[in-house]
Amino acid sequence: MSTLEIKDLHVSVATDDGPKEILKGVDLTIEGGQTHAIMGPNGSGKSTLAYAIAGHPKYEVTSGSITLDGVDVLAMTVDERARAGLFLAMQYPVEVPGVSTSNFLRAAATAVRGEAPKLRTWVKEVKTAMSNLDIDPAFGDRNVNEGFSGGEKKRQEVLQLALLAPKIAVLDETDSGLDVDALRVVSEGVNRYKASGDVGVLLITHYTRILQHIKPDVVHVFAGGKVVLSGGPELADELEKNGYERFTSPAAAV
């Protein structure tokens, strides 16, 4: 069982006016078998947390630590983090012209598994994973995310999640831009992944509707660059009813 531990994490981004601190001391521990939901208003730093875990070069960690099973994640390159078992389903997956989806998936699986998957079983594996997510096999020949709709891109993220089988998955607003049917398909995909082993899920979302499909064990409220309140699933219901106002009012932003 894996543990992702984030301690007092401070992260800045470069702006025209110099570095701006976005994360101001995040503490969070996710253990295998658990699903944590991070909820918060726009601009609270949720996506910054996701990118900082994945190692996006735009985000500079100024202090604090991230460890996976005790190993320093911040010392790893982006690809090393993925091979160590971290996965980020992105809010805005990137288009990569010139690289077919099937070549990309195979290269990723080869890297993460440490050896090229056997061609015969691989083809079947991809086909099954695609069919589970209602993805047309023709997408394999198309360039990575190129010209895909928002919903198609999100399905591709969950397809990669299924094939790469990480220890801890961070899902950054995977629900945004999905219609009801797509949300169900994508959620089923995440639940299949959860059921596949003692894996941890960090579900970042602005809305509560995805939590009707993917049940969280812990809900964190994120505001002003850190976790301001943690609780059980019932916290999501309260947010649904009352919104984020009490966390964003000037009195709360201390």
Applying CB under 8 A, which residues contact another protein? 54-57, 77-79, 81-83, 87-88, 90, 93-100, 103-104, 107-108, 111-112, 143-144, 160, 164
Q: Are 51 and 202 in contact (CB under 8 A)?
A: no
The distance of Cα 2 from the centroid of its chain, to the nearest Å, equals: 16
Residue 40 CA to its chain's centroid (Å): 15
Closer of 155 and 226 to another protein (Cβ)? 155
Q: C-beta of 41: minimal distance to another protein in Å? A: 25
For another protein, which is the closer residue by CB, 39 or 68? 68
Nearer to another protein, 9 or 90 (CB): 90
Smallest distance, another protein to C-beta of residue 131, A:
21
- Least Å distance, CB 103 to another protein, is 6
Cβ at position 51, least distance to another protein in Å: 9
Q: Strands (DSSP E) along the chain, which ranges? A: 3-15, 18-31, 35-39, 59-68, 71-72, 86-89, 96-100, 143-144, 168-172, 200-205, 218-223, 226-231
The two three-digit tokens of residue 67, written as one number: 């460890």
Interstrand relation of 200-205 and 35-39 (parallel, antiparallel or unpaired): parallel
By beta-carbon proximity to another protein, the closer residue of 83 and 209 is 83
